[in-house]
Amino acid sequence: MNQVSEHRYDSMQYNRCGSSGLKLPVVSLGFWHNFGDTANYETMKAIALTAFDHGITHFDLANNYGPAPGAAERNLGRILREELGAYRDELIISTKAGYGMWPGPYGDHGSRKYLLASLDQSLQRMGLDYVDLFYHHRMDPETPLEETMGALAQAVTSGKALYVGLSNYDGPTLEKATAILTELRVPFVINQNRYSIFDRTIERNGLKETSVRLGKGIIAFSPLAQGLLTNRYLNGIPEDSRIRTDGRFLHADTLTPERLDQIRALNELAAARGESLATMALKWILKDGAVTSVLVGASRPAQILDDLKVLEGPGLTDEELTLIDKYSL
């Protein structure tokens, strides 16, 4: 086993998930990209160990993260067996089900059949008896909400999940789901949604306001807008960038001249603050205390150390927040 620092918690900040007892690190590690079968295992291991060594105790997965679907969970299972298994009780491991995972009518959406079967498969891939947090990954208007929430309740009562969460929900559906889960006495603690300077959907669809009002946490994914809120694309599209090498989630036509102008203006504001655009973008998400944690991805360990700079230096002033709105809306 690699040596793990005894001081790994000294510099990390941990926030409660809403009004629950569960705390998450300000920065969490997402296994969405870079942990599939196309990635190098030694690099994956180094990323995970660097994260944990610096107090990032939360690893976030889903059944379909890869490629291929399931690969990220299998690779985490190997890392746990070989390196981090002794620290299981110091880790928060989350997974999800809700998107297409296997062929046929039972491997997608929000049925009880799918969610509970998927959780069993996820546990097997990771070599775990339980996950700390199990999410429904997206709203499913064709399945009764009572059925989906009942499946989450069963995940907890069976001992296969300690807490549950909802991902990609909107405010009104969150409110209905919360009422059901409260009646079932299910420890629902957090919402996972896309949120960044460039994507403020949760401010428009009621998710953010409703989460705060109901005492639920929020964890933000894609906080750097798939790399747009970094200096990566300031001078064009690099050949080794995600746009060039993986066209699944970020496309070249996203980088319009208008968007580039916005990125450059935001980058100049960050430079005036003495920090990177990425650091400023992460601080923006955490600006008002509504967001519990930001989910970051990494293709190499050094990126983890860069992301942790969000813990350093001053927060954003009202004037700077106004400028960010001016440059991005």
The dotted CATH code for 14-252+277-315 is 3.20.20.100
Distance CA 208, CA 202 (A): 5
Q: Identify the three-state secondary structure at position 56.
A: coil
Beta bridge pairs of residue 219: 192, 293
Cα dihedral value 181, 185, 187, 189, nearest 10: 40
Eight-state DSSP code of residue 88: G
How many CB atoms neighbour CB 104 within 10 A?
6
Distance CA 254, CA 95 (A): 29
Handedness of CA 71, 137, 307, 19 (dihedral sign): negative
What is the chain's pLDDT, residue by residue, as a tens digit (329 residues)? Answer: 467 888 999 999 999 999 999 999 999 999 998 999 999 999 999 999 999 999 999 999 999 999 999 999 999 999 999 999 999 999 999 999 999 999 999 999 999 999 999 999 999 999 999 999 999 999 999 999 999 999 999 999 999 999 999 999 999 999 999 999 999 999 999 999 999 999 999 999 999 999 999 999 999 999 999 899 998 888 766 555 555 555 555 566 678 889 999 999 999 999 999 999 999 999 999 999 999 999 999 999 999 999 999 999 999 999 999 999 999 99
Distance CA 149, CA 164 (A): 9
Q: Tell me the pairing of strands 293-296 and 217-221.
A: parallel
- Contact between 309 and 293 under an 8 Å Cβ cutoff? The reply is no
E strand or H helix at 269? helix 257-273
- Contact between 297 and 30 under an 8 Å Cβ cutoff? The reply is yes
Q: Tell me the pairing of strands 14-16 and 23-25.
A: antiparallel
- Contact between 107 and 76 under an 8 Å Cβ cutoff? The reply is no
